Structure 1
């Protein structure tokens, strides 16, 4: 079913609708967060930077862009004249999908295991937006790994590309945290999540435990995402014209 023209078109619509839904959720939450800062006379610039310093926001924004990109590619270049020669998604889209799928799946896991029980101040969070960013989006990206059409088999070296952004983000967060005044509490630090806050975790040793755990989760999820893609991409793929993709069409991003 996932290798038929009908499914390719259907899943592209799912991707585009999900991208729009995620974009709407991010915008809705941004309006409440930034609007609240303006109304209360808080530092708007810091509030905006803080908003886009959450891994959840960054992973959702990037996934919306990549999902829309993949959908547009299929409609403009993956079908029509010559489509029988375009048997799998381009390497750039395949790597981007592997990255955002990993980030979103990890976002869903971390939120629902570590953060869901934390009560948020009323009026600062948009409930439906919160569920889309932490549950619906991650679920669709998981399904995309399992059901998305034109899957390219990537090399194991792709895992290295996937983990680059989380490493950079953690470094950025830990460096910026003690240099940023919390615009809400006026504390001399700000961290997007309590498990990265050394003031909450009794120092950086406590933070390190969470960082190592989350890093392991990202690596494992990335391995699974790439592994599923390799398995699906190495199978014969019927194109619109009925031709067959050979396993050698896999992208050589590492063995």
Structure 2
């Protein structure tokens, strides 16, 4: 059971969705406490967390759409609607938040580097852990959460490295996009706030 639970929480999708749920709950609590002062911007720490989880969720949706839709994962088949909620619906809701949520703070560009920390740690953890456990469903002496991280599936660690670099580029690109949208929205919302 500990291995199954550990495997469940080793999926980037699960970690991203849990982080998004916690961050949006904290954000909702903050917004409710600040409802009397609509001119109050989110605190920088909350905006940083929102940039991070927004990036992770958007990348989750894109990676699922490009690499994982219809692919059976090591734990076996899952209920189709759970995949759609975690990989499509939730990222679309996060995208709506990025584009339309009020009181968003423009974050500095160095926030993109902060966003990259968790995926680097997750990739290192995944590659180290994978060969230290036995897969419960197959009995293999290794377990990777995604086929594109398994060197036995993609043709070696060189191919795995290409996938990791590609996903890292996507994470940095999406983080830059989320920060850029925040800058654009802050610029367009500023005059209205000043007038009000």
Task: Using structure 2 for the length normalisation, give the TM-score.
Answer: 0.93
Kindly report which structure 2 residues correspond to 1:3-42, keeping only aligned pairs within 5 A, or say none: none
TM superposition shift of 1:112: 0.8
Q: 1:47 is matched with which residue?
A: 4
Distance in 1 separating the partners of 2:191 and 2:52: 23
Indicate the structure with greater helix content.
2
TM superposition shift of 1:129: 1.7
Q: 1:237 to 1:71 in 2, by over 3 A?
A: farther
Distance in 1 separating the partners of 2:57 and 2:74: 24
**Could you say what secondary structure the match of 1:112 adopts?**
helix
Q: 2:88 is matched with which residue?
A: 135
Alignment check: 8 A CA contact 2:54 2:178 kept? yes
Alignment check: 8 A CA contact 2:73 2:146 kept? no
Kindly report which structure 2 residues correspond to 1:130-169, keeping only aligned pairs within 5 A, or say none: 130-169=83-122
Alignment check: 8 A CA contact 2:61 2:87 kept? yes
Alignment deviations for residues 112-151 of structure 1 (CA, whole Å, 9 cap, x no partner):
1100031469984122221110000000111111101101
| Counterpart pick for 2:132 among 179, 191, 214 | 179
Root-mean-square deviation (CA, aligned residues, Å) is 1.9
Unpaired runs of at least 5, structure 1: 1-43, 245-255
Distance in 2 separating the partners of 1:122 and 1:51: 9
Size of the aligned set, in residue pairs, is 195
Question: Is the radius of gyration larger for structure 1 or structure 2?
Answer: 1
